[in-house]
Amino acid sequence: MNPRAGLFPHTPPRDVLGIWRDEFDRARSEGGLFQLTLHPHVIGHRSRIVVLEELLGHIAGQQDVWFATHAEIAAHVWTPNQLV
């Protein structure tokens, strides 16, 4: 147990980038959806913006990726007369 953990409660930015990249890569390999939710207390640091830019570059570098809004995704999967 790290006695200093309470002083440094945040995950280091490069570790966050690794987590985000792994999440995206696995979702893509499974043909799934990658949705990144950015809460202010998570992304609201300059160092996190830097790694977010790196993540977006990684994602944009893939040939089969679609950047979409929630509305666009809903319209893509919605079927008329579908039971809810």
pLDDT digits (tens, 9 = 90+) for 11-63: 888 998 999 999 999 999 999 999 998 888 778 888 889 999 999 999 999 99
The three-point CA angle 37-30-76 to 5° equals 65
Report if pTM > 0.85: no
CA nearest to 47, candidates 19, 10, 82, 6: 10
Report the b/e string of 46-80 with b at 16+ CB within 10 A: eebeebbeebeeebeeeeeeeeeeeeeeeeeeeee
Stretch 58-84: mean pLDDT, rounded? Answer: 88
CA distance 14 to 21: 10
Please report the pLDDT score of residue 12 as a whole number: 87
Which one is predicted more confidently, 79 or 32?
Answer: 32
